[in-house]
Structure 1
Amino acid sequence: MPVSEHVSSCPEFTTISQEFRDEYVIEKSRFITTLYPCSTEDEAQAFITRINKEFWDARHNCTAFALGPKQEQQRSSDNGEPSGTAGKPMLEVLKKTGITNIAVVVTRYFGGIKLGAGGLIRAYSHSVSEALKKAPKELHTTRMQLQTNVDYATFGTIERYLTDQQYTFTKEFSDTVTLTILLPQEDLEPLKKQLQDITSGAVDFEELGFSEVTIPITMDTAPS
């Protein structure tokens, strides 16, 4: 089936795949960072309210969120810290990484030693940056679906190749193995040629069109 010339306009963006928490201690102050995936401001505000209730006894629960494929909606709060030392640096980290559809709360338990404005900026930025590095992330994008049937003799070689090239694919087993591969449009013809070479031409393809997909990100892409 020939593929349509029309490609879905689904914007590509990276977010986190689940709520995640990390802790950083400096000068006896605890900075507890909680990240939350969300797509609306109502969801972000409900998350912030929940964290405020959980850490009701903390001196500060500073917040930031970025929503939309291009981070169109942005907001931050210093929550009592000196102006510009918490929420804004947290939001700047989100903007730098490009990660979106995310809300973050950094909870601070004061340790008795003042950090100063510069120290606070560094502490809040570092807390969010480190949490984003460690959190599981996923790519939301559009991919071509290419389906092919291969025999069991060549399946292992093809599976290793697709895995090495970090393609996302599913497999169904019957008399042959049916592979459905998700790939960028620009990879379509090169991949078909490579699979033809691997199988000495004994492979057919069916292009199933484009689909909006979520792909786990296994390697850290957030800057340090």
Structure 2
Amino acid sequence: MIRFDSVSETCLMVMLADEIDLDLTPLIARLASQIDADFTNQLIDIVPAYTSILIHFHPDKVTERLLRERVQLCYERWQGKSRHTGGKLIELPVYYHPEVGPDLVSLAEVKGLSIDEVIALHSGQIYTVCAIGFAPGFAFLASVDEAIAMPRHAEPRLSVAPGSVGIANQQTAVYPSQSPGGWQIIGNCPKSLFNPEQEPMTPFQVGDQVRFQPVDRTAFQSLGGEIWPHWK
């Protein structure tokens, strides 16, 4: 299934599904990459997400009709075939501990698990980057094990530490910078995940895979991690 919606005179929405399907993520990533490569000078931005691709284009340089035709052609060529994108595997160190993960203990209690079991379940998965948004470098990763899936807090925190590793339902993510947020925080990653002075600014692309590697407090601090005392 593919559907095109004209959002505005300069934006085209490509819908590939009505529900989240991780099997679609590699195809979405591949389509977005191909369109970006084919129309580099004609696009303002291209935003792949869980079920869609938003194409923001220069109307004086390319027509919506041409974009639709190209996307449709690529979709028909790749649908049902191997969807491997060549996306990279990103390994991220995480210090799982209540002093950096204020929701770790409560999540374990609600789920009837030990803290070690929560850590093993979270770090035992390989996650897919399904979308990037909310904040620069914030990658939505799916899917966490159902045994540790937890909804967002009803009332978001005013300030979440940079590097915080959180869970929201069946998604997980790392906050690349300090911001408000309502995810269940279970640990912290000391690695910088967004730097506007570097190219690329973030290591993530839709279709990449992510694996978390538990580290102890000493390793966490040696990698630049900081204990966050300002939870609100």
Q: Normalising by structure 1, what TM-score?
A: 0.24
More strand by share: 1
Q: Normalising by structure 2, what TM-score?
A: 0.24
More helix by share: 1
Structure showing greater Rg: 1
